[in-house]
Structure 1
């Protein structure tokens, strides 16, 4: 375990061994005080947890601890880029991340925070695992549906490939200009050496199917959820997030950031976005 102390927080890196033996690289950001909440952060496709340094620093300044990891096939973690042998393994990885946070803080209230693909995983974790560990969950531009639906022909070809070659890899086709309206943030993304655009037939279809499953099971939620989306998001569907929220009245609070693109936490209202999350977390603790 490596530890770095900077200002009002301590940053640590550590290893998480997955159920199928992969070394997943974990990271935590701890305030220099007893944290009021633990936020377990699940990043999106193609990126890595290091991109959330600014997000983690904000929450530690609010007295909250942040735990995250590079998902399998992402960042510095092991595994084929953009691939998982099964969707269930992703949910088990999320559970193992939560366990690593709970080892450090036994009774501190815990929240799951998922962005894009991570939001897809968080919703399905909530509806399938029925854990009692969580005080609430946050969904940032969740991948419940793509903003532009794949053609029926493309889906048919992907299903054929999943049956005969599930680890077949291709470009996700993501346009980096869609992540933020701030040019400097787009350039950082483009120049990040461990960001990638690879996705396999297994993972791509699993996410599409799991997104529809999440919308269909929204009524089974039993903890509060904050869901927000950029109104200018051309990557994941804002309408799908609204539909999800409408199917869970009383549990899901939806917020639209009208001028933001996909990564609201790295767009023009970034501080307001993160303050919304921090204030909502405090409401759940009250």
Structure 2
């Protein structure tokens, strides 16, 4: 495998750090990865290496306010209009990959924050991948999200620009962490693998918190993508929902199953997989074996994408 780091020109000319992992030989498929809240693209080396062994290339960039991008080192914050610009970044990166690998099927993977960003882009018809993997995602009642939104809007007046407040911390990561009390770290909800969790907490490129503004943007996206009509704009392609059975973001599996059921009702070809004993960050649950299972499931799903891509398309009368 060959890994390359480069700068990607996102929306409004913003330069974003990016990575490309190439297999030996011509890629059979390219997988665009959108990482999760507070982390960065470099945390997907192990997944990319496993896929590269099977001829699958991976590519990712650090979302605004994350990873090697400028900004606060304590709070992930996308900046003013950051969600909309990040949607454009995702779309531009997709277009760049298509130009760089003409004729090669393009799949897209979104984890956590990246899953909601990808879902929002799909709802708007901004991207049309050959297959979609949503990891660490879920759905919550719109009424509950609306109440939390109202509280966070009030907190925005108290938070410094790009910063957070104790109440926002309690409503976001704190609410998830309480499900695993007594807590050893600030992020026990992420991963049961203590060694992996300690590496995350010590990673200087991982922000410990999210800003009040970004949390509000995420809540808004969760409401948009969870609405009854949200799936109408999706292109019809294979979909994999992959989460830990003990992931609080997916309501311990029930939110993931609800999303899968909604997709089935919308006529979308979806597979729902919950990994037993795994929490939110399934890609780093090595000790319990969930990370290896996640890689295996993704590889099998990539083969599904390839099989679907190789099927002959319906020809128009003029093509026959």
| Common fold by TM > 0.5 | yes
Residue in structure 2 matched with residue 265 of structure 1 by the alignment: 283
SS of residue matched to 1:229: strand
Range with greater deviation from structure 2 (169-178 or 120-129): 169-178
Residue in structure 1 matched with residue 180 of structure 2 by the alignment: none
CA distance in 2: counterparts of 1:167 and 1:129, whole angstroms: 32
Residue in structure 2 matched with residue 285 of structure 1 by the alignment: 306
Residue in structure 2 matched with residue 4 of structure 1 by the alignment: none
CA distance in 2: counterparts of 1:242 and 1:276, whole angstroms: 17
CA distance in 2: counterparts of 1:79 and 1:207, whole angstroms: 19
Relative to structure 1, is the Cα distance of residues 105 and 166 closer, same or farther in structure 2, using a 3 angstrom cutoff?
farther
CA distance in 1: counterparts of 2:161 and 2:102, whole angstroms: 38
Relative to structure 1, is the Cα distance of residues 144 and 75 closer, same or farther in structure 2, using a 3 angstrom cutoff?
farther
Number of residue pairs matched? Answer: 274
| Residue number among 227, 234, 245 corresponding to 2:248 in the alignment | 234
Relative to structure 1, is the Cα distance of residues 227 and 14 closer, same or farther in structure 2, using a 3 angstrom cutoff?
same
Residue in structure 2 matched with residue 255 of structure 1 by the alignment: 273
Q: Which runs of 5+ in 2 are unaligned?
A: 175-185, 308-320
> Is contact 1:83-1:203 (8 Å) kept?
yes
Normalising by structure 1, we get a TM-score of: 0.87
Indicate the RMSD between aligned Cα atoms, in angstroms.
Answer: 2.3
Q: Report which of the two structures shows the higher radius of gyration computed on alpha carbons.
A: 2
Relative to structure 1, is the Cα distance of residues 21 and 79 closer, same or farther in structure 2, using a 3 angstrom cutoff?
farther
Q: CA deviation at 1:274?
A: 1.0
| Residue number among 194, 218, 227 corresponding to 2:231 in the alignment | 218
Relative to structure 1, is the Cα distance of residues 32 and 120 closer, same or farther in structure 2, using a 3 angstrom cutoff?
same
> Is contact 1:141-1:228 (8 Å) kept?
yes
Residue in structure 2 matched with residue 52 of structure 1 by the alignment: 44
Normalising by structure 2, we get a TM-score of: 0.78
> Is contact 1:112-1:138 (8 Å) kept?
yes
Q: How does 1:1-286 map to 2 (within 5 A)?
A: 9-79=1-71, 81-84=75-78, 85-86=80-81, 87-132=83-128, 134-142=129-137, 144-145=139-140, 152=147, 155-162=149-156, 167-170=161-164, 171=169, 173=173, 175-216=186-227, 217-221=230-234, 222-237=236-251, 238-249=253-264, 250-267=268-285, 268=288, 269-286=290-307
Relative to structure 1, is the Cα distance of residues 156 and 131 closer, same or farther in structure 2, using a 3 angstrom cutoff?
closer
Range with greater deviation from structure 2 (161-170 or 87-96): 161-170
CA distance in 1: counterparts of 2:12 and 2:138, whole angstroms: 25
CA distance in 1: counterparts of 2:160 and 2:224, whole angstroms: 21
